[in-house]
């Protein structure tokens, strides 16, 4: 099958599982900093997720997560081109299932199985932390995440407790942080230009800034968590390791 990938999330699976000669094009975002497989993407042809540009390549298979918009699957299938959709993965076990499904859809089941096996081995090698060791996930825009998110599952997989005890994505709990603090901080996206604070961001509050300054912190690269894939293990292992103190502002 000659393959076209429409967005950087689908790029990750195509670049990981498929030989170069089978790939007609990947997305322009494949080489960006937020793409985990950016180094492997260098030299590949790219295509924008526009129907006329994709159809001109005459692919046998289109792979997508969100590329091309909500009508893309129906449009390309009506044009006679099958579409392999990257599944949504809210937890580690589902990530494994998505990898397996992508391997089958890309006709590379053995490579996918090897990726899953490596994930399981790395998870099994993580050493437990003392009970009650907590971590607060923080973004530059002043958000954190609790139960019901992949971030929460990532924290648990690292053998830690999530300091954020409310479910879903929420603003940093500044009132609670005034009298209670986590054992460590997971600082996400602080090394990039993603989600930087505006004038109303909770990250501008002294209490929020103090967490980065005074707590041991772990820097998480955006590429580790921006799409749900095997690379979440990089973030889990970084969280599991002993963090270093310092100012990440």
Of residues 219 and 13, which shows the higher confidence score? 13
CATH class of 3-89: alpha beta
Give the span between the Cα atoms of 173 and 177, in whole angstroms: 6
**What are the C-alpha distances in Å from 202 to residues 75, 162, 164?**
42, 19, 15
Mean pLDDT within 11-17? 98
pLDDT of residue 244: 58
pLDDT of residue 204: 78
The domain 134-240 is classified under which CATH number: 3.30.559.10, 2.40.50.100, 3.40.50.1980, 3.30.479.30? Answer: 3.40.50.1980
Cβ atoms of 63 and 56 closer than 8 Å: no
pLDDT surpasses 50 at 100: yes
Q: Hey, where are the domains in the chain?
A: 3-89, 134-240
pLDDT surpasses 50 at 67: yes
Mean pLDDT within 43-66? 95
Give the span between the Cα atoms of 242 and 41, in whole angstroms: 32
Give the span between the Cα atoms of 220 and 133, in whole angstroms: 18
Same fold, 3-89 and 134-240: yes
Give how far the C-alpha of residue 224 lies from the chain's centroid of Cα atoms, to the nearest Å: 5
pTM: 0.89
Q: Which of 39-53, 146-160, 231-245 has the lowest mean pLDDT?
A: 231-245
Give the span between the Cα atoms of 226 and 35, in whole angstroms: 8
Of residues 243 and 41, which shows the higher confidence score? 41
Q: Could you tell me the maximum CA-CA distance found in the chain, to the nearest angstrom? A: 61
DSSP, res 136? E
pLDDT surpasses 80 at 220: yes
Per-residue pLDDT band for 246 (boundaries 50, 70, 90) equals: very low
pLDDT of residue 196: 55
pLDDT digits (tens, 9 = 90+) for 194-210: 555 555 577 778 888 88
pLDDT digits (tens, 9 = 90+) for 150-185: 999 999 999 999 999 999 999 999 999 999 999 999
6: helix, coil or strand?
A: coil
Rg from Cα positions in the chain: 20
Per-residue pLDDT band for 193 (boundaries 50, 70, 90) equals: very low
Percentage with pLDDT > 70 across the chain:
93
């Amino acid at each position: 099958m000659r393959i076209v990938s429409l967005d950087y999330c689908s790029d990750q699976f195509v670049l990981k599982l498929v030989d170069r000669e089978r790939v007609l094009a990947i997305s322009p975002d494949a080489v960006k900093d937020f793409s985990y497989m950016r180094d492997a993407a260098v030299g590949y042809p790219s295509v924008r997720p526009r129907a006329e540009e994709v159809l001109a390549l005459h692919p046998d298979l289109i792979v997508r997560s969100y590329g091309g918009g909500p009508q893309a699957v129906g449009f390309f299938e009506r044009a006679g081109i099958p579409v392999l959709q990257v599944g949504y993965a809210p937890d580690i076990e589902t990530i494994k299932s998505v990898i397996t499904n992508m391997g089958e859809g890309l006709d590379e089941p053995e490579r996918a199985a090897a990726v899953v096996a490596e994930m399981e081995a790395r998870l099994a090698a993580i050493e437990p932390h003392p009970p009650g060791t907590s971590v607060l996930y923080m973004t530059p825009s002043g958000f954190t995440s609790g139960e019901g998110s992949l971030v929460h599952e990532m924290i648990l997989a690292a053998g830690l407790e999530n300091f954020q005890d409310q479910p879903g994505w929420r603003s940093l709990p500044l009132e609670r942080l005034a009298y209670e603090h986590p054992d460590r901080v997971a600082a996400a996206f602080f090394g990039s230009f993603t989600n930087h604070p505006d004038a109303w961001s909770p990250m501008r509050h002294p209490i929020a800034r103090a967490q980065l300054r005074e707590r041991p912190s772990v820097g998480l690269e955006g590429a580790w968590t921006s799409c749900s894939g095997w690379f979440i293990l990089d973030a889990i292992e970084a969280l599991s390791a002993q963090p270093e103190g310092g100012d990440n502002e």
